[in-house]
Structure 1
Amino acid sequence: MVRVGLTPERLTLAGAELADEVGFEQVTVSALARRFDVKVASLYSHLKNSQELRTRIALFALEELADRVADALAGRAGKDALAAFANAYRTYAREHPGRYDAARLRLDPATAAASAGVRHAQMTRAILRGYDLTEPDQTHAVRMLGSVFHGYVSLELAGGFDHSKPDPQQSWDWIIDSLDMLLRNRPTDN
């Protein structure tokens, strides 16, 4: 019998909230059952296993982050768009550290192709159109931005900048300025 009120969507949202509280690696069907004060078996009518739950949370986080980034990018171009994208990414990671980790989950190719991860790549490429990059430089730039943003955010979330000067915000702003300058002044291979 299906428990009233429990749906895959509700379980996904609760799993995402749990990820933010205890860390994405700690989210399991068992942990979710404890949260709802139900037997684990009662959740298996909604979820196959913990991997399906984790995948659902990852897809939810990718969609949520893509929506947030799209809102931040609306009407912006150039450095303003680059900064808006970076700041939306960083803010999401700070507000939802478990969901942010979930968004990094390796998905199978078919699931990844149908996910909001595609929107993330499209938005990054839209920003880069303002820098007049051609291939393969555009792909290199997508990878660079993802690496820099993820690296900084991961170090910051782990407390890597807690006891150092200058203020991490100043470093973040310096990085955005430097990336903008690099992208504007990238030599072409002619």
Structure 2
Amino acid sequence: MARLGLTPQRLAAEGAELADEVGFDRVTASALAQRFGVKVASLYSHIRSTQDLKVRIALFALDELADRAAEAVAGRAGKDALVALGDVYRDYAREHPGRYAASRLRLDPQTAAASAGPRHAQLARAVLRCYELGEPEQTHAVRLLGSVFHGFASLELAGAFSHSLPDSEQSWAWALDSLDALLSARSTGG
């Protein structure tokens, strides 16, 4: 086992790869052990269960996605930042469908609070800063962005937009334009 260099972090990263290949719902400790050519028992000195593995994959995906989002919105403001943030979520879902599904895993409150989840909310609030929304409007707006970004990505992954015109690229641009217009209209600064 030592020669394989198994660690909880390596198991989470490889589990994320497996999730992209077979789907997050099909990731198990047994399937991961097969990838490493070891017995499942060998993994249990690093993880407690398949559920623990899935939580670790979710945390891995949330961190990875937050890093991408932070890089994408850095130095941007207004609609440019809004589009960059939305594109990160959509692109991540298309590039890493298993990891994206993992990032949607419901976590217990303590784990969620210690995850990159709050960082995602902070990034959304940073994007919304130029719209000058007060509270509770800013919280509503954070939830709206998440609903649109994740809803669109989930439906697109499921093939919901592949059977009609216009294509999803046009609908995505329209959705982002509409979000910007709505947020601008609700701004307290204008």
So what's the TM-score if we normalise by structure 2? 0.95
Partner of 2:131, secondary structure, is coil
- The equivalent residue for 1:107 is 107
1:126-141 correspondence runs (5 A) = 126-141=126-141
- The equivalent residue for 2:90 is 90
Partner of 2:76, secondary structure, is coil
- The equivalent residue for 2:148 is 148
For residues 11 and 73 of structure 1, the distance between their equivalents in structure 2, rounded to whole angstroms, comes to: 30
- The equivalent residue for 1:18 is 18
Partner of 2:14, secondary structure, is helix
Structure 1 or 2: larger helix share?
A: 2
For residues 151 and 5 of structure 1, the distance between their equivalents in structure 2, rounded to whole angstroms, comes to: 38
The CA deviation string for residues 6-53 of structure 1, in whole angstroms up to 9 with x for no partner, is 111111111000000111111110110111121111111111111110
Q: CA deviation at 1:2?
A: 5.2
Partner of 1:130, secondary structure, is helix
For residues 174 and 186 of structure 1, the distance between their equivalents in structure 2, rounded to whole angstroms, comes to: 18
The CA deviation string for residues 50-70 of structure 1, in whole angstroms up to 9 with x for no partner, is 111001000000000000000
Give the unaligned 5+ runs of structure 1: none
- The equivalent residue for 1:164 is 164
Count how many residue pairs are aligned between Structure 1 and Structure 2: 188
Q: CA deviation at 1:4?
A: 3.7
Partner of 1:105, secondary structure, is coil
The CA deviation string for residues 126-180 of structure 1, in whole angstroms up to 9 with x for no partner, is 1111101000111111111101111111110011111211111010000000000
Note if contact 1:131-1:183 (Cα within 8 Å) is conserved in structure 2: yes
- The equivalent residue for 2:35 is 35
Partner of 2:20, secondary structure, is helix
So what's the TM-score if we normalise by structure 1? 0.95
Q: Out of 69-78 and 29-38, give the one that drifted further.
A: 29-38
For residues 79 and 70 of structure 1, the distance between their equivalents in structure 2, rounded to whole angstroms, comes to: 16
% identical aligned pairs: 71
Note if contact 2:133-2:187 (Cα within 8 Å) is conserved in structure 1: no
Q: Out of 160-169 and 58-67, give the one that drifted further.
A: 160-169
Q: Which amino acid aligns with 2:82?
A: L
